[in-house]
Structure 1
């Protein structure tokens, strides 16, 4: 009996000492370094929802592997080109077109070979955070199959949302609030594509990535002036009430809340200059007076402009 007990203890010990298999990250396998990646430039809010990387990789291949994240591959190359994909034991040999999106969900076996230089955006999503975002922000419960039922599709609108994310990282306009907003647009559109019935998705498509970009460009150029809801709605070619509802549904903030947050983001940059007067910053950012500026600043940042500058 003592011998049997010793054997059992040894077996249990060996079991605990066995190395557990951990699926690798996509970034550990990809044969080249990204030219641009959001982790280097923006953190932590937007990067907490997704990670963006941009590649122009020479012809190469990636071994078949399972990954612990979802991956969204957006093709930006104008010329259609041949790509091979091994997915859960199936070999796919196809022509990859511009604006085509390939979804590789977490846990799906996938390997790649491309035959000419690639030009693509890869967006990585952490499954648990992605599901929580869908549930808390949009009230949508994602089933296990929803990222597996449509592995490849053509969608110019979602592609444009991905491009906006990339552009936000390239230029100084890509402040944290801008990247955060573009990330929210991308995720919302992706979730609506999978999580709603067709007629409901048609409603969401009435606010496209292009319209959203036009509104943001208008705000970026005119945030120091008096901007009305009607002005923003006109840029999206929508009625004020319809625009306000779609904007809130997509961004999670009303147009007014977003405008105030954008103004405060610009004000924070100006506060870095100790020679700039508070009153001048308030007027430059579109606030009626210094007191109004201070109230909004404290509401958003949790401290006054003076405290922020001292800090």
Structure 2
């Protein structure tokens, strides 16, 4: 659905695209649950609350304490329950969400790489480029050029 919206050539409603991304990430989380985890997973409503908090605050510093507070849990218990729910650590989840949001900005071509980096919550363009390359396998600029119309 996201690809269809991006390829349609029509103006894209950011809220709609963000909600599709959240649905995609939540769907992936549900499909990658680790059934052998020794810690109980977060209840779906707590997981949704944390994921919404993360999406709403991507441009800010998001601490484990903030997320644990949203879930109403201690820091250590939250980390274990989050990983049991999603298969990844809270930090890794945030990185993936930031990279996915950055990809949307890159496709729009309205901001520089430095502006995108700050918009999605990276410390600077170098941090963004390193994280993007590590996760995607190419630099943000190369990724963007490969998708030129």
Instruction: Tell me, yes or no, if the aligned pair for 2:32 and 2:86 is still in contact at 8 Å.
Output: no
Partner of 2:144 in structure 1?
309
CA distance in 1, matches of 2:44, 2:110: 39
Q: CA deviation at 1:179?
A: 1.8
Q: Distance in 2 between matches of 1:257 and 1:42?
A: 22
Structure (1 or 2) with the greater strand fraction: 1
1:248–1:254 CA contact under 8 A, matched in 2: yes
Distance 1:247 1:174 in 2: 21
Mapped pair 1:219 → 2:44: no
**Is the contact between residue 233 and residue 239 of structure 1 (CA under 8 Å) also seen in structure 2?**
yes
Q: Conserved in 2, the CA contact under 8 Å of 1:185 and 1:209?
A: no
Q: Does 1:208 align with 2:54?
A: no
Distance in 2 (alpha carbons) for counterparts of 1:42 and 1:279: 24
Aligned-partner Cα distance in 2 for 1:216–1:306: 28
CA distance in 1 between partners of 2:57 and 2:115 (Å) = 16
Q: With structure 1 as the length reference, what TM-score do the two structures score? A: 0.39
Correspondence 1:288 to 2:133: no
- Gap runs ≥5 in structure 1: 1-40, 44-170
Match of 1:252 in 2: 87
Indicate the structure with greater helix content.
2
2:20 to 169, 174, 179: 174
Is the Cα–Cα contact under 8 Å of residues 184 and 251 in structure 1 kept in the other structure?
yes
Aligned to 2:13: none
Q: In structure 2, what is the Cα distance between the partners aligned to 1:302 and 1:183?
A: 20
Using the alignment, how far apart are the partners of 1:183 and 1:265 within structure 2? 13
Offset at residue 178 of structure 1 (A): 4.2
1:262 aligns with 2:97: yes
Cα distance between partner residues in 2 of 1:257 and 1:178? 17
Q: Structure 1 stretches (4+) deviating beyond 4 angstroms? A: none
Q: SS of the residue aligned with 1:204?
A: coil
Deviations, residues 226-280 of structure 1 (Å, cap 9, x unaligned):
1111111111111111111111122111000000100000000001122311110
Of structures 1 and 2, the one with the larger relative CO (CA 8 A, separation 6+) is: 2
Map Cα deviations across residues 66-113 of structure 1 (whole Å, 9 max, x no partner): xxxxxxxxxxxxxxxxxxxxxxxxxxxxxxxxxxxxxxxxxxxxxxxx
Please report the RMSD computed on the Cα atoms of aligned residues, expressed in angstroms: 2.4
Distance 1:251 1:257 in 2: 10
Cα gap change, 1:186/1:303 in structure 2, threshold over 3 Å: closer, same or farther?
Answer: closer
Match runs of 1:183-198 below 5 Å: 183-185=28-30, 188=33, 192=35
Question: 2:32·2:87 contact (CA, 8 Å) conserved in 1?
Answer: no
Give the structure-2-normalised TM-score: 0.79
**Which structure has the bigger radius of gyration?**
1
What is the aligned length? 133
